[in-house]
Structure 1
Amino acid sequence: MMEIDKLILSDQDYARLSMLANDELLGDELSRAIVVPADQVPADVVRINSRVIYLDESSGLSREVELVFPEGADLKFGKISVLSPVGSALLGLKEGQVIDWPFPHGQSRRLKVVSVANYVAFASD
């Protein structure tokens, strides 16, 4: 398994995700995350509500998804839960990072973050 850099999570995402972290893989991810104030998360880091284009290097397929909390998941609109295997894998990664991630049925897949778009809503808008 390839060693990747620390994950970066906003304090807000971390607080909400900690409540969901009965998921073992997500719990492992949270335990190695660097938690920073939301306005200090770099623009190229995958967070909740990011639109992400990733490449599954195992299959050569690339997909665009939006990472959401479980209640917002809707595959028809490309919204995937942070608790899904892909969602947990992508969370906190930066553009260009690659992760080897265990999937159900004993498979491991290699995912690469191609691009990240974060639409941050500011109260002054």
Structure 2
Amino acid sequence: MEQSSACCDPPLLIGDGSEVVLRDIARAAMSRLPDVAERLLGEVERAEIVAESDVPADVVRIGSFVTYQVQFTGAINTIRLVPPNEADERKLRVSVLSKIGTALIGLRQGQQIKWELGDRQHVVDVLRVCAAL
């Protein structure tokens, strides 16, 4: 299943410095994780790019703590979105190259997105975003 169509996707906001980092991460992963890398590049392409200093605190970016809910299951999770080399599931540090990481990047608190998680399409709601817990 593919990500939802562009007409229905929520707007994304990414800082200019983060844009460079995300593109580098996606390009580096293209040979081993092409589907996720392409999705991440697609999300960066459709995002509004602004100065890092203009990104509000409630926007998901690398380093953010994010509480989200998957509507189908009702599960609520809190993670920290990190670069792939810092991912550690035991510490709830989730890579931006994971399906949920790619789904969340650039969203704001209160937004939702339809995204493939596991073997089906789900609606993911961003409940809270903060720089530190």
Do the aligned partners of 2:69 and 2:75 also contact (CA within 8 Å) in 1? yes
Deviation at residue 104 of structure 1 after TM alignment? 4.4
CA drift of 1:97 comes to 0.4
Q: Secondary structure at the match of 1:42?
A: coil
Q: 2:108 aligns to what SS in structure 1? A: coil
| Partner in structure 2 of residue 108 of structure 1 | 121
Note the C-alpha offset of 1:116.
0.4
Q: Is the 8 A contact 2:59 2:108 kept in 1?
A: yes
Flag structure 1 segments of 5+ consecutive residues without an equivalent.
120-125
- 1:68-110 Cα offsets, whole Å, 9 max, x none, are 00001011111000000000000000111010002343x1111
1:49 paired with 2:63, answer yes
- Residue correspondence of structure 1 range 2-41 to structure 2 within 5 A: 3-21=8-26, 22=30, 23-41=37-55
Contact 2:103 2:113 in 1 (8 A): yes
Q: Is the 8 A contact 2:10 2:112 kept in 1?
A: no
Give the length in aligned residue pairs.
118
Normalized per residue, the structure richer in helix is 2
- The match for 1:85 among 94, 99, 102 is 99
- After TM superposition, give the deviation of residue 46 of structure 1 in Å: 0.5
2:87 counterpart of 1:73: yes
Question: For residues 118 and 60 of structure 2, what CA distance do their matches in structure 1 show?
Answer: 22
Question: Aligned to 1:30, what secondary structure does the other structure show?
Answer: helix
In structure 1, what is the Cα distance between the partners aligned to 2:74 and 2:117? Answer: 16
% identical equivalent positions: 36
Structure 2 gap ranges (5+): 31-36
Q: TM-score, normalised by structure 2?
A: 0.83
What is the CA RMSD across the aligned residues, in angstroms?
Answer: 1.4
After TM superposition, the runs of 4+ consecutive aligned structure 1 residues lying more than 4 A away are: none
Alignment of 1:97 onto 2:111: yes
